[in-house]
Amino acid sequence: MPLSNAELEIVTRDYLLADGKQATDIYFETSWLMQYLMKQQKGLWKLFGGGRKVKVPLKYDGAEAGFYQRNDTLSEDERQNITAAYFELRHAFGNATIYRADELQNAGEEAEVELVQSKIEDAMESCRDTVARQLYAAGGDNSPYLTGLLSLCNENADLAYGELTENGVVAKDGSKPWEGKLLTTPAVISLDTIREMRRTAKVKGKKPDIGVTTDLLFDKIAGILQVQQRFTSDKPTAEAGFQNLVIEGMTLTVDDYMPSGHLFCLNSKHVGFAVHRKGYFARTPWKDLTSGAQGRSMKILWDGNLISNNRKAHIGRSNLSAA
């Protein structure tokens, strides 16, 4: 006899809680950025409880300051130096469906439990992959997908990112703190390529400290470092199951969802995730199908977005090759 909805709930709960919630590692086991920024909650991290948009404070210019002599009159002006970026919530889901015919074919309680666990795992993986594939999305504010890294680094000065444009945020000295940086000139990846990118994205003396790229480009850099006997790794990253190198203070790793020929150098203090409290890979109860087919379904839900409070602290590069 098929499991009841109440029994499905018990099986699902036990599966997700087993072995110290190891099953939930599924959400983070294939994307280094998701593991680092979402599971470890490094960089910017906002777990919020309401609202259609996420407010991210942005400081783009300093207060009034300067040198003065003994009898000088000091400025009492208050410069408007704080604004904010606003990021829309994005929504992803993974679906688990168990048809009655499949339940009947998996006779016995143990077989039914295994079937349910397999469907739960599929739903978790599909939700994860849906989010991870969009980490590099370029659509910006008007897209239904994440404001991904290609949105963050977009050089269109009039295209809104976080409801701000590069031309719309100008500091007192004329600089544009909301500048996107994406280098597109074809080049062979090298240590000099990475150094150039990190210099270009340096803000307040701090260069990007994390880098993500493809397997092919990563292997090229690993080969260069081995030849120079300068091969080092970041232990916490390696322990999480990801390839990694440490290059002059920056952890470089591979992300399987990275578009071909790309490298991103990011400052972890200025990038991260905002996730709704009710949408942090939450799940719905099992319920009967509404399509007319005989069976039950459950969904894994994720509600949030990739956010930044300083675009100039990051840089991307496309058209890179290994030879």
- The per-residue pLDDT for range 58-83, each reduced to its tens digit, is 866 555 455 666 666 655 554 445 57
What tokens were used for 48?
């919020």
Average pLDDT over residues 286-294: 89
Global pTM value: 0.86
Task: Tell whether the model's pLDDT for residue 315 goes beyond 50.
Answer: yes
Q: How many C-beta atoms surround the C-beta of residue 302 within 10 A?
A: 21
Average pLDDT over residues 107-127: 89
Whole-number pLDDT of residue 174: 79
Whole-number pLDDT of residue 195: 96
Question: CA nearest 120: which of 222, 238, 3, 213?
Answer: 3
What tokens were used for 62?
């300093």
Whole-number pLDDT of residue 175: 82
Q: How many C-beta atoms surround the C-beta of residue 124 within 10 A?
A: 22
Left (φ > 0), alpha (ψ -120 to 50) or beta: where does 164 sit? beta
Band (235; pLDDT cuts 50, 70, 90): low
The CA R_g of the chain, rounded to the nearest whole Å, is 24
Task: Tell whether the model's pLDDT for residue 232 goes beyond 60.
Answer: no
The mean of the pLDDT values for the chain is: 87
Q: Reduce the DSSP state of residue 142 to 3 states and report it.
A: helix
Whole-number pLDDT of residue 78: 46
The pair phi, psi for residue 204, each rounded to 5°, is 50, 40
Is there a contact between 84 and 292 (Cβ–Cβ < 8 Å)?
A: no
- In the chain, % of residues over pLDDT 70: 87
Q: What is the pLDDT of residues 186-229, one digit of tens each?
A: 999 999 999 999 999 999 899 999 999 999 999 999 998 886 65
Whole-number pLDDT of residue 170: 81
Q: What is the pLDDT of residues 210-220, one digit of tens each?
A: 999 999 999 99
> How far apart are the C-alpha atoms of 148 and 142, rounded to whole Å?
12
Band (143; pLDDT cuts 50, 70, 90): confident
Whole-number pLDDT of residue 93: 96
Is there a contact between 194 and 247 (Cβ–Cβ < 8 Å)?
A: yes
> How far apart are the C-alpha atoms of 100 and 203, rounded to whole Å?
58
Whole-number pLDDT of residue 112: 85
Q: What are the CA-CA distances from residue 127 to residues 95, 113, 122 (Å)?
A: 8, 21, 9
Q: How many C-beta atoms surround the C-beta of residue 77 within 10 A?
A: 8
Mean pLDDT check: name the lowest of 32-46, 102-116, 250-264. Answer: 102-116
> How far apart are the C-alpha atoms of 263 and 290, rounded to whole Å?
45
Average pLDDT over residues 36-57: 91
Q: Which residues contact 102 (CB under 8 A, 6 or more apart)?
A: 115, 295
Q: What is the pLDDT of residues 78-103, one digit of tens each?
A: 444 557 899 999 999 999 999 988 87
What are the E-state strand segments in the chain? 44-48, 53-59, 82-88, 90-99, 182-183, 187-188, 210-213, 244-247, 250-254, 263-266, 271-276, 282-283, 287-288, 295-308, 315-317, 320-321
